[in-house]
Amino acid sequence: MAREFSRTQRIAEQVQRDLAQLIQFEVKDPRMGMVTISHVKVTKDLGYADVYVTVMPLGDQDEAESIAASLHVLRQASGFLRRELARQIKLRVMPQLRFHFDESVERGRQLHSLIEKAARELREKERTDEE
């Protein structure tokens, strides 16, 4: 019988939980928007952890600028974050952190709006056909 979760999945989930708290409470940079960690993928050899984030802009920042600034801040703080994670999670090797913007949330929003638009047009067409 195969295991339900592999070791790398469990490590990825723990990294996601701890990293979210570290970013929220320890990284104090005004350039960074509201960052949410949507997914962490750890390689089998624990060499790298790909961290996928979504960013909500703060204030009057443009969304693209906010994403770029937040990713820059996270990449600059990756050494600090990795060190703090190593203190919290007892592993022989702590993966290198690589931050990426998660485009799947934005893509989902776009698909949802397209579906809503198509449904609205279909309802309007049905109304005009009935009349």
Please report, for the domain that includes residue 78, its CATH number. 3.30.300.20
How many angstroms separate the CA atoms of 65 and 43, rounded?
Answer: 30
| Domain carrying residue 82 | 7-103
Residue-wise pLDDT tens digits, 27-49: 888 888 889 999 999 999 999 99
Number of domains the chain contains: 1
| Among 35, 103, 25, CA closest to 70 | 35
pTM across the whole model: 0.79
Q: What are the φ and ψ backbone dihedral angles of 26, each rounded to 5 degrees?
A: -110, -30
pLDDT digits (tens, 9 = 90+) for 12-30: 999 999 999 999 999 888 8
Residues whose CB falls within 8 Å of the CB of residue 42, separated by 6 or more in sequence, listed in order: 8, 9, 11, 12, 15, 48, 49, 50, 95
The answer as to whether 88 is a domain residue is yes
